[in-house]
Amino acid sequence: MRFTGVKGLHPHMQKILLTEEEIQSRVRQIAGQISSDYAGQDPLLVGILKGAFIFLADLVRYLTIPVQLDFIAVSSYGNASESSGAVRILKDLDQSIEGLHVLIVEDIVDTGLTLNYLRENLRAREPASLKVCTLLDKPSRRLVEVKIDYNGFVIPDEFVVGYGLDYNGHYRYFRDIMVLKREVYAR
């Protein structure tokens, strides 16, 4: 069952921030830009697990260039709603990125701590180039400045779920991106 629309809004959600249609339109635009920028380069897209998996899948389907895929899992949240600031790699890449054009595909950038750590870690592996693509950017929470090369949406400082984003492992399945009610995550 898909919970959208005012009457069908899931009881844990405050509101819909971005609809499935808005998301898909923007993902198509980003894919067009990436296809143009990486023409002839066969880039490696590195999906950040678990949140970016739906965004990455849709992005790849809209690309018009060949790409390679790999995944890395990092954590700075654990089961909390606030970043701890301590970043851990839970699953590393399956291949060397030395000499490759690498595009990190992230679901959301807020404090910048995780992305900053990841960029430095991957940069040390000597890729030919390293860029960042994120679906959501929450600059009001930034603690560390990070360069985002491809950005879907700038969003306000609200706790969002859906389209791969979760709270404590839940709500990833929503097709829209929704604002989670404070009482759900402030328990």
Distance separating the N- and C-terminal Cα atoms of the chain: 26
- Sequence-distant (6+) residues with CB within 8 A of 86 are 76
As a whole number of angstroms, the distance between CA 88 and CA 49 comes to 12
Residue 110's nearest CA partner among 174, 56, 160 is 160
Round to whole Å and give the CA distance between 109 and 182: 20
Q: Which residues are catalytic?
A: 110
What is the three-class DSSP state of 62?
helix
**Cα–Cα distance measured from residue 42 to residue 17, given in angstroms and rounded to the nearest whole number:** 34
